[in-house]
Amino acid sequence: MDDKQYLDLALTEAEKSLNLGNYPVGAVLVIDDQVVGVGGNFGETSQNYINHAESHLLINHGPILLRAAKDGQNITLYSTLEPCLMCLGEAIMNKIDRIVYIQKDPRAGACGINKDSLGVRYQESWPEIVHNPYSSRSKELITQFLKKQIENGDRVDWSTNFLKLLETC
């Protein structure tokens, strides 16, 4: 499989998240070209906003990731949305070699952070980061979620402001 095929799997997970009432982000964890996990965001339904798609995969696959890193295997995290600071930090701490994402996140994306301003541990383990905007589907799903939030009267200011930011990417 190639990056686009893995990102398509992530989009499927994002759609599942949206259908369950969650912010539509999906992620796929791949070790040496083998999918070891897929997942979506479930922050809304769990009422816990740290339940990001990427975070959940990294936490639940910790032992596999540790073994893969020790064995020198190639670990890639695919996401439909640019990882936030929390997910980026977890990826680095779990020795992810490469992060590939579709949609830039103008609100919380952290992939453009200057790694030189961080501690040595982060600089030494910084992954390759690839923005692959091959599809507009991620942005469409997020827009759909935000518009539904506004329609339902949920977090209207946040959703309205985020929609405006999203238009810039």
Domain range summary for the chain, segments of one domain joined by +: 3-135
* CATH number of this structure's domain 3-135: 3.40.140.10
Mean pLDDT, range 112-120, rounded to an integer: 93
DSSP string, the chain: --HHHHHHHHHHHHHHHHHTTS---EEEEEETTEEEEEEE--HHHHT-TT--HHHHHHHHTHHHHHHHHHTT--EEEEEEE---HHHHHHHHHTT--EEEEEE--TTT--TTS-GGGS-HHHHHTPPEEEE----SHHHHHHHHHHHHHHHHTSSHHHHHHHHHHHTT-
Catalytic residues: 54
Q: Per residue in 10-62, pLDDT tens?
A: 999 999 999 999 999 999 999 999 999 999 999 888 888 889 999 999 999 99
pLDDT at 43: 87
